[in-house]
């Protein structure tokens, strides 16, 4: 079974080390991605802190933001040194910050530059070098231009393409609007797979149901989901059993919370704040009795100086109280 059958998207401000530890308690098979980390942050900043992994993270990919081949090559070397399984080039983020740095989605307008980046990264490390991109950018929005982009980048040695099934507008839409307003176009990605059968093609965007996941897998090599997982993380508990035919590792939500407690104790002892961890857990009871009380308790108390693992225990009690009143 290919490595990219199901993955969780890189999400700025979300898919950090704490969030990934939590997700791993729900699925051992899903491929995880870091937040996008810029090459300048790694080269001139604290790379050891930024690249620190949990022992449970793997399979894990580092997503890079940048456009300088030498800098990307140096960061690809770091990815291999720190034990990542993949290094991914961001060619899909449309934020103003990314545009000013001439990377992200704006790179789709320069396929030759992307090819040079991929070649440099592949030369620097033995990891799979992959790309995440859009259907197009601004007025570059025809299927032929998309196919030409994929062709040029694949000629540089990239074999895995993760495609958000929308184009991006670099001006006029916010990053949030760019995730929602441009229409989805799944047929173009299906067509790419038919025309580039040797490539691994992974689809992303607008996928919220397991039935949609399995439908896409009838046509493509993999599916990537992002905010649906963050908002309703229990979805991940189905992945191992349904998509990988392995036993589910998460039995109950309460068991997952119990397994988080030693991690939280250790992190707080090392100076971390509880709220930096629990903010990723608030969707665990989404749609369930007590879910709102669970979220509210965390919002009200996890940021306090005295907050510790017992704060999460107390939040879980709110769920039990709601269950008791619903019997």
pLDDT, tens digit (0-9, with 9 covering 90-100), for 57-103? 999 999 999 999 999 999 999 999 999 999 999 999 887 766 665 78
The predicted structure's pLDDT at residue 100: 61
Q: Is residue 216 part of a domain?
A: yes
CATH of the domain at 286: 1.20.120.1460
Give the pLDDT mean for 296-314.
94
Of 92-101, 140-149, 223-232, 247-256, the least confident:
92-101
Q: What gap in Å lies between CA 286 and CA 206, rounded to an integer?
A: 19
Residues 237 and 152 in one domain: yes
Helix (H) / strand (E) element for 60: namely strand 60-65
27 and 171 part of one domain: yes
Least confident piece of the model among 89-98, 113-122, 284-293:
89-98
**146, 272: one domain:** no
* CATH assignment of the domain containing 189: 3.20.20.70
**Residue 196 pLDDT more than 90?**
yes
Is pLDDT of 180 > 90? no
- Co-location of 235 and 273 in the same domain: no
pLDDT of the residue at 319? 86
Contact 141, 167 (CB under 8 A): yes
Q: Across the chain, what does the average pLDDT equal?
A: 94
Q: Are residues 147 and 86 in the same domain?
A: yes
| Distance (Å, whole) CA 250 – CA 27 | 7
Whether 184 shows a pLDDT value over 90: the answer reads yes
The answer to whether residues 138 and 199 belong to one domain is yes
165 lies in the same domain as 302: no
Domain count along the chain: 2
pLDDT at 202 over 90: yes
286 with 224, same domain?
no
The parent domain of residue 304 ranges over 253-325
Active site residue 125: no
Whole-angstrom distance, CA of residue 131 vs CA of residue 43: 21
207 and 296 part of one domain: no
Biggest distance spanned by C-alpha atoms of the chain: 63
Same domain, 218 and 291: no
The answer to whether the pTM exceeds 0.85 is yes
Q: Is residue 115 part of a domain?
A: yes
Catalytic residue among 19, 75, 91, 93: 93
């Amino acid at each position: 079974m290919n490595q990219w059958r199901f993955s969780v998207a890189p999400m700025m401000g979300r898919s950090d080390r704490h969030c990934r530890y939590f997700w791993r308690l729900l699925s051992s098979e899903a491929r995880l991605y870091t937040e996008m980390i810029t090459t300048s942050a790694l080269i001139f900043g604290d790379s050891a802190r930024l690249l620190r992994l949990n022992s449970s993270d793997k399979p894990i990919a580092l997503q890079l933001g940048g456009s300088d081949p030498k800098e990307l090559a140096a960061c690809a070397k770091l990815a291999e040194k720190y034990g990542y399984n993949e290094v991914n080039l961001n060619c899909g983020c449309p934020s103003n910050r990314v545009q000013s740095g001439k990377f992200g989605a704006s790179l789709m307008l320069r396929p030759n530059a992307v090819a040079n980046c991929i070649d440099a990264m592949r030369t620097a490390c033995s990891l799979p070098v992959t790309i995440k991109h859009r259907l197009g950018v601004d007025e570059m929005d025809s299927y032929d231009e998309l196919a030409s982009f994929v062709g040029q980048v694949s000629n540089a040695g990239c074999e895995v393409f993760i495609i958000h099934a929308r184009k991006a507008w670099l001006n006029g839409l916010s990053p949030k609007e760019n995730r929602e307003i441009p229409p989805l176009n799944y047929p173009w990605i299906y067509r790419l797979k038919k025309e580039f059968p040797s490539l691994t093609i992974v689809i992303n965007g607008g996928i919220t149901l397991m039935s949609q996941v399995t439908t896409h897998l009838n046509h493509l090599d993999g599916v990537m989901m992002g905010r649906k997982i963050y908002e309703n993380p229990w979805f991940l508990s189905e992945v191992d059993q349904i998509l990988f035919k392995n036993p589910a590792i998460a039995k109950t939500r309460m068991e997952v919370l119990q397994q988080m407690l030693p991690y939280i104790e250790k992190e707080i002892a090392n100076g971390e704040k509880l709220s930096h961890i629990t903010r990723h857990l608030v969707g665990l009871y989404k749609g369930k009795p007590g879910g709102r009380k669970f979220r509210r308790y965390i919002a009200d108390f996890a940021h306090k100086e005295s907050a510790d693992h017992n704060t999460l225990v107390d939040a879980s009690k709110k769920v039990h109280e709601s269950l008791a009143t619903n019997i």
